[in-house]
Amino acid sequence: MDLDSRGAEDYDRKKKTYKCTEKGEHKRTPCEDEMCDIIASIALTEAALAHILNAEGEKLQKAVEVTSDVCRLLKVNESVLETIMNVTHLEHILFLKLTAILKNKDMKLW
């Protein structure tokens, strides 16, 4: 069932979710709701990190366009490298979060 075919009475405004009311579906427990919220926050963080990496790539491209000074290019490269290292660290933390949630739910990542 898609979200558009659900009735307004099935929408929980406080949690911004729909109740499962179709035959064979079940209502999510508070724990499942929390797990879904954490997974959603991981996805949003991943999207933000993708934007950061894209911006760093653009910064590097712009630096190559505007200057031929090797020292300046190395400084920009060092800055980009530091950002990539920080993003990698955050990616590892997000991976650990996700595996912990899936382990709680007896699911496997692959």
Per-residue pLDDT tens, the chain, 110 aa: give them. 444 444 444 445 555 554 544 555 667 777 778 888 899 999 999 999 999 999 999 999 999 999 999 999 999 999 999 999 999 999 999 999 999 988 877 665 55
- Could you tell me if residue 34 is inside a domain? yes
Q: What is the pLDDT of residue 13?
A: 52
Q: Which domain holds residue 48?
A: 30-104
Asked whether residue 64 is domain-assigned, the answer is: yes
Q: Is residue 18 part of a domain?
A: no
Residue 21 lies in a domain: no
**78 with 63: CB under 8 angstroms?**
no
CA 48/CA 50 separation, integer angstroms: 5
* C-alpha distance across the termini of the chain, in Å: 27
Q: How many domains, the chain?
A: 1
- Whether residue 13 is contained in a domain is answered as no
In a domain, 25, yes or no: no
Q: What pTM did the predictor assign?
A: 0.68
pLDDT for 62 equals 97
Report the pLDDT value the prediction gives residue 103, as an integer from 0 to 100: 84
Give the Cα separation of 88 and 82 in Å (integer): 10
Q: Which residue has tokens 């993003």?
A: 87
Is position 6 within any domain? no
For residue 99, is it within any domain? yes
d(CA 103, CA 2): 28
Gap between the Cα atoms of 36 and 31, Å rounded: 9
